[in-house]
Structure 1
């Protein structure tokens, strides 16, 4: 069979269930068949299908030889799954100018499924067969990630007799003699991002490792002058839903979904993952995330070994789910609260008028974020919120460094800027008093960290508030931090124990929070271990240290304060 016949047979097996696949894999197959039929049978289609290019790519890939393992020395044989991807990427062309239809590619599948080797063939194919000088940049967040694909390119073309003498390697890049094309590894770690390099192909491996979209954005913005640019991402799932890869995953999932109105003719995507509810112990499901590894016995044995380790050592399960089953898990290592649990507590509004409240502050550094947190005991549990402050002169720098829309959050009312280069604590003090008076609140206790906040606390006492120190060590914070988390974990569609109004700053801070554990299993939130700022949730925990001792009188529903000394 030729390449296209193999691809059609593979698609037929997927849709008939002869080969097990997840729903998003099936959606990608259906999209391909629909697009191919449109090219062939619809004269109005803006695209045509060039079958010969698919054959060229296949025979070019045969020039690559395995360089290690039991297949060392043998020609690489692309699988039907890889051929499906290649004909989508290279065979759909625009009628108006003959350039490739797809400008962006997103592929998500489990590890060990020949990702780096396939990316190497893609990069080499464009570099050697391109009509003009091609600039292929391999982008990893860390140097070793970009080097892995670069080395795969170098080893692959070194193994080809056809390409012998047609290229050289110098100064950390590969250069093709015929057209001057180059293949260059980039990384954020070495401060090399390809800015201003006029890239034609950007290859991003393991995008889930990228803390921001900086490298991706720089490469894409540099492609505007290219006739047929290609941004190519292959990744496994990750465990931090705040990272740009998950945003991209969510977007391309909508492109694939035939029932979603989102369409993008420039974007090819395919996702191989377990479906919701699939049993990870059922070996027949493994091929859904492992379209290559799960087709041979050695690969299956590797997955069996990974699963056994994950079942024996629960701490390994998160890695197994993301890397081997390709499922996004919304909990980072040591992460305090999963995003899904926090979102479950969101409500539209909360009437705080006249209520009892506990207020906490996290003054932090004067040049950084300063936050107030408040906790309202309720008949169902607690309602929480925050308001934060940042010095006006630090806003631009902090927005660029933290990669979050502080200006938008200010506009939406979740935080304020204070005049000058440092946070004006008198401004914070006035906001707190206005918040209390405007809502006619009964402040039970004002809670503060004595380190660096003694004068501020004295000022609040002068306003008539009862203030109490809350030291930030394990003995004070561990039980409240655990208890607050336990309440959040009880949130579901039918019952909410901790509510909030969807405050974006607070949700961001909760997602950033990392719990530090002591030898005796005491925990507290750690600013040093958390990747981003956690001041808003830290202020709430400070208030919760005391608010947890409030009880609701079931007869009248009023809040009664019980001192910690009364327990």
Structure 2
């Protein structure tokens, strides 16, 4: 090892590294060729990826996997990262006089050529070269083996595609990707990992070390090893603790901590609510079910995010009591799309719709029946005293028509309109900064002061996990559906409901009034 823990001692693979190596090289075809053609090793940062890449380079350059006239490439997104891999491999060579050929050691096997980041073995005609995506065209390569370091950092797949498609003339081509996960589910690395995990293809190997997305407490040290197999060995626990403490103090760092060090596929754009904050608002031991923490017949506000006909529709409810925001949330999705959309959205719609759980209602068919939604809203309005329902204007007229069909009275509260006694008051709620910015601020304040309370509704948690915000130059924030591939409907509806409440309910006083401070004894 040229640097780090164990410097100047022999490079010894750990058991988890050995397993990856065995799973690449041990399986053979009936013809005696190496079976694996593509291998992915994904792990949190600082778990020795560079050392493994350098060792694999030498295995194929002068080791047991070397072939005559082999071409071995390590690829990286930028020159600096490419240089790090070459530097490590070079140091391993220079530390061993049997490997390094110089004027003092003319029998060494490898020439080091720093100017082109190349290691050359003249004995078998093979060479290794470090490439970066910045260095222009790579067409004309004929790699026997390529290793892509941190593919997650690549802004496009050009270099990956060049390497992948240039091995056609090789008998046993091998491509290896060693990288932390990308936060983007549409990134080439994410697609490759997803394909490798589900494909019935024994030529593809994936070793994924990651903390599951549904872990309640990401700051529990017991789960960190799932993404950091070297933790407590050459991955320092104190360093990871410091990073976790910083993320806990500064919620804006949480997404980065989860992606880079827990190897979760978490977007580092600004989240609506950090995951840890959402879990901190959960009431332990609360009963399950969509009604959440709402109490029968109490005064509540509702908000509806009405979907396209085949997607998720969400209705959120929030208690009207000043000083606390207890949540309930109902979700509907067409039954025939549960399986397909579970795969598309990486969501457990089919599980949530089970009768024994009841989190998701799945009316039969391939289209959401607005008549069904209208009936359910009418029913919910009999269970609570609904002070108003915020709604997005999109497709609301279809729902109003269904209200009329079932004889349910509702009216739109607009300028000049008159209240209708006993009818549901509908409050138009724009999705731009004017209406959503105060709603997002009200939600953030409720979370920060722990007024927000929920029962762990998994669909609502899924939507909040996906929700990100965009800001205008004045710092106003709104939810941005264009920045996430997955559903945020429940989070959108919750924001609207809390926004409507904050607009209409005067907050309960949290301390003595200004006059009480000046006149504590009431003598004036």
TM-score (norm: length of structure 1): 0.56
Deviations along 1:144-166, one digit per CA (max 9) or x if unpaired, are: 49x97799689999412356513
Tell whether the 8 Å contact from 1:107 to 1:271 is kept in structure 2 after alignment: no
Q: CA deviation at 1:183?
A: 3.4
Q: Please say if 1:336 is aligned against 2:268.
A: no
Q: CA deviation at 1:535?
A: 0.8
Aligned to 2:146: 183
Output the CA distance in 1 between the equivalents of 2:345 and 2:496: 24
Output the CA distance in 1 between the equivalents of 2:333 and 2:310: 7
Q: 1:166 aligns with which of 120, 126, 146?
A: 126
Tell whether the 8 Å contact from 2:147 to 2:175 is kept in structure 1 after alignment: no
Q: Please say if 1:253 is aligned against 2:225.
A: yes
Deviations along 1:6-28, one digit per CA (max 9) or x if unpaired, are: 99x957xxxxxxxxxxxxxxxxx
Q: Please say if 1:83 is aligned against 2:24.
A: no
CA separation of 1:252/1:130 partners in 2, compared to 1, >3 Å: closer, same or farther? Answer: farther
Aligned to 1:389: 332
Q: What SS is found at the alignment partner of 1:419?
A: coil
In the TM superposition, 1:463-502 aligns within 5 A as 464-491=423-450, 497-502=451-456
Tell whether the 8 Å contact from 1:355 to 1:376 is kept in structure 2 after alignment: yes
Tell whether the 8 Å contact from 1:361 to 1:373 is kept in structure 2 after alignment: yes
Aligned to 1:37: none
In the TM superposition, 1:357-368 aligns within 5 A as 357-368=300-311
Output the CA distance in 2 between the equivalents of 1:515 and 1:483: 14
Unpaired segments of 5 or more residues in structure 2?
28-38, 90-112, 130-137, 288-292, 411-422, 510-524
RMSD: 5.7
Q: CA deviation at 1:335?
A: 1.3
Q: 2:56 aligns with which of 122, 125, 139?
A: 122
Tell whether the 8 Å contact from 1:368 to 1:390 is kept in structure 2 after alignment: yes
Q: Please say if 1:211 is aligned against 2:192.
A: no
Q: 1:544 aligns with which of 488, 494, 498?
A: 498
Tell whether the 8 Å contact from 1:377 to 1:551 is kept in structure 2 after alignment: no
Q: CA deviation at 1:499?
A: 0.7
Q: 1:514 aligns with which of 458, 468, 484?
A: 468
CA separation of 1:426/1:432 partners in 2, compared to 1, >3 Å: closer, same or farther? Answer: same
Output the CA distance in 1 between the equivalents of 2:394 and 2:207: 49
Aligned to 2:409: 462
Unpaired segments of 5 or more residues in structure 1?
12-78, 177-181, 259-266, 283-313, 492-496, 555-567
Higher helix share: 1
Q: What SS is found at the alignment partner of 1:385?
A: strand
In the TM superposition, 1:205-354 aligns within 5 A as 205-209=179-183, 211=185, 214-219=191-196, 231=206, 253=225, 271-272=235-236, 274-275=238-239, 278=242, 332-347=268-283, 348-349=286-287, 350=293, 352-354=295-297
Tell whether the 8 Å contact from 1:138 to 1:150 is kept in structure 2 after alignment: no
Q: CA deviation at 1:344?
A: 0.8
Deviations along 1:71-115, one digit per CA (max 9) or x if unpaired, are: xxxxxxxx4699355687349999xx999xxx99765335xx985
CA separation of 1:81/1:506 partners in 2, compared to 1, >3 Å: closer, same or farther? Answer: farther
Aligned to 1:27: none
Tell whether the 8 Å contact from 2:352 to 2:359 is kept in structure 1 after alignment: yes
Q: CA deviation at 1:505?
A: 1.0
Output the CA distance in 2 between the equivalents of 1:365 and 1:139: 46
Q: CA deviation at 1:122?
A: 2.3
Q: 1:418 aligns with which of 360, 363, 368?
A: 363
Tell whether the 8 Å contact from 2:302 to 2:386 is kept in structure 1 after alignment: yes
Q: What SS is found at the alignment partner of 2:470?
A: strand
Q: What SS is found at the alignment partner of 1:346?
A: coil
Q: CA deviation at 1:206?
A: 2.6
Q: Please say if 1:434 is aligned against 2:360.
A: no
Output the CA distance in 1 between the equivalents of 2:21 and 2:197: 20
CA separation of 1:458/1:478 partners in 2, compared to 1, >3 Å: closer, same or farther? Answer: farther
TM-score (norm: length of structure 2): 0.60
Q: CA deviation at 1:485?
A: 0.9
Output the CA distance in 1 between the equivalents of 2:263 and 2:398: 49
Q: CA deviation at 1:167?
A: 6.7
Q: Please say if 1:374 is aligned against 2:317.
A: yes
Output the CA distance in 1 between the equivalents of 2:322 and 2:282: 17
Tell whether the 8 Å contact from 1:510 to 1:537 is kept in structure 2 after alignment: yes
Tell whether the 8 Å contact from 1:361 to 1:448 is kept in structure 2 after alignment: yes
Q: CA deviation at 1:454?
A: 2.9
Output the CA distance in 2 between the equivalents of 1:280 and 1:252: 10
Tell whether the 8 Å contact from 2:467 to 2:479 is kept in structure 1 after alignment: yes
Tell whether the 8 Å contact from 1:108 to 1:270 is kept in structure 2 after alignment: no
